[in-house]
Structure 1
Amino acid sequence: MQKNFQYQQQRQYPSYLRQDLKKINQIRANNSGINFKNIPLNNNTIDIIVHHLGVVINQATGNLEYFNHLIPIDTFVISLDNYQATPYGTTPNIIQQTISGQILGTTLQLAYNVQCIDNNYGPNCDLKCTPASINNLHAACISVITGMHHSCKYASNSIKIFDCTPCPYGLTINQTKCNTPNITPIIHVS
């Protein structure tokens, strides 16, 4: 008696898994590592989720449970509360960390940097700056997150800014100082 076995050459995954597999294959193709660019501003954490794509074996019975199954293995969280962004146009400051997973407690060693790009400046990389109208060592900046103006100073190389002061009432005409509020008292005569 001969049995016919059909082997499915190409497995059809649900659409949500096909999208994840495309992303995984794109990451595999990049041998230089994962490169996160243009992440929205002012993130608090980076979440890393590690998945396994393959067979799943039942620990108790040793039986094959799934074939080509995508399951989460561990998750890692990198806090960005106390980072110092490297200014645009300078060599990035590499941060090396070893972190523990939140599901299985596995260990992940990684190296990363936080750097302002696209001519953004400031600790949150949210300031767009131009030289002040009368003094090139002063910078007139505006936050792309809040819209608030800032009065800053350029370092001598015009790459890094420092000494930034938020200006809730905007900048003076020469763009080197903050406007002060008009607090003239109003006197009512009856």
Structure 2
Amino acid sequence: LLSEFVFFSQSVQYVQSDFNPFFGSISTGNWTTAHTFQMITKPVAIDIFVQHLGVTIDKATGSLLYFGRLTLVDCFIVDLTRFKNNAGGDQSLSLIGTELGTQLQLTLNIQCINGMMGEMCDMTCNTNTITNNNFVVCTNNRTGEYFNCTYNSYNAQVSQCTLCVTSGSVFNGTCIVALQETYVGVSSAFRIWTIVLGCLLGIAVLLILCLIISYIIVRNRERYEERRSYKDTTYKDSNVYHNGRATRPLLEEDEWTKVSRRPVSAEAEDSYARRTVVSTTVSRQEHQV
């Protein structure tokens, strides 16, 4: 097996070990040789590739694929942003491969060299200016900014650094005002009332939609009843009557001429005149009485 170490920072460093025989596990030999890397700043990640040179067999079918080929076995990734600088202390890791899920035991020891300090080993601090509260002014070598940091004499490191505000373009060696990074959040009451008002608004919108749908349904039903009542109503068109959907006229045009009128005799007219006179006379008598 062959192990390759790739360090990622402002620059990339690549280190390759020798091939080692593998019989299921490796815990001795040059496989366990410590590697020391010196970089400008603290690296952000380490990628470890384990490769095999020799016979390659398909794990699904068991057939021979290659006889002498360099094949990637597994890959391990170490996120160094989760590890602090620990002068003289080792940190043990148990990594799981991303390809085959094999296990790798790794020991890290991250230290700042050349008197550099800070989480990324990119600060230069003047320890002669340490105050009684263990505050010290440091300079970031990458950005040129000044920070007010807390100095830890036990491991010769600084932490909790805040950006300094200078009154002029030239720094006088002291941090006059420390710029406190504040994050203005939203109060819990505001969030609660926002949620409540949002729920009420949603309910109001649903009620309005229900009212609109109900109005449309009622209006359509009224129009349907009006059309139905209109169809069932008898109406007259000229001298022809219609009843509902019927188209047969109730009175034909020629019914006036179908039945002939009988002539009125003279006797009938005299009888009608006498009845009229009698009734008129009686009416007058009753009026006089």
* TM-score category of the 2 structures, normalised to the smaller one: 0.5 to 0.7
Change in 2 beyond 3 A, CA 1:54/1:158: closer
Partner of 1:81: helix, strand, or coil?
helix
Aligned-CA RMSD value: 3.7
Contact 2:88/2:109 (<8 A) preserved:
no
- Relative contact order, CA 8 A, sep 6+: which one is greater? 1
> Is the alpha carbon distance of 1:155 and 1:65 closer, same or farther for their aligned partners in structure 2, counting shifts above 3 Å?
closer
| Amino acid aligned to 2:107 | A
Whether 1:51 and 2:51 are equivalent positions in the alignment is yes
TM-score, with structure 2 as normaliser: 0.43
User: What is the correspondence of 1:61-76 to structure 2 with a 5 Å cutoff?
Assistant: 62-63=63-64, 65-67=66-68, 69-76=69-76
1:79-105 Cα offsets, whole Å, 9 max, x none, are: 22322112xxx422x221212111111
Instruction: Say if 2:109 is the partner of 1:108.
Output: no
Q: 1:176 maps to which residue?
A: 174
8 Å Cα contact 2:162/2:178 also seen in 1: no
Percent identity over paired residues? 27
Cα distance in 1 for residues equivalent to 2:106 and 2:175: 42
Checking the alignment, whether the CA contact within 8 Å between 2:163 and 2:178 is kept in structure 1 is no
More strand by share: 1
Match of 1:23 in 2: 16
Counterparts of 1:63 and 1:107, CA distance in 2? 25
Q: 1:96 aligns with which of 85, 92, 100?
A: 92
Greater helix proportion = 2
Say if 1:151 and 1:178, in contact at 8 Å, map to a contact too. no
One of 134, 143, 149 as aligned partner of 1:152: 149
How far off is 1:56 after superposition?
A: 2.1
Considering only CA atoms, is the larger Rg found in Structure 1 or Structure 2?
A: 2
Q: TM-score, normalised by structure 1?
A: 0.62
- The CA distance in 1 between the partners of 2:85 and 2:70, in whole Å, is 35
Give the conservation status (yes or no) of the 8 Å contact 2:136–2:149: yes
* Unaligned stretches of 5+ residues in structure 2: 1-14, 21-28, 180-289
C-alpha contact (below 8 Å) 2:130/2:136 kept by paired residues: no
Contact 1:121/1:127 (<8 A) preserved: yes
Distance 1:151 1:23, change over 3 A: same
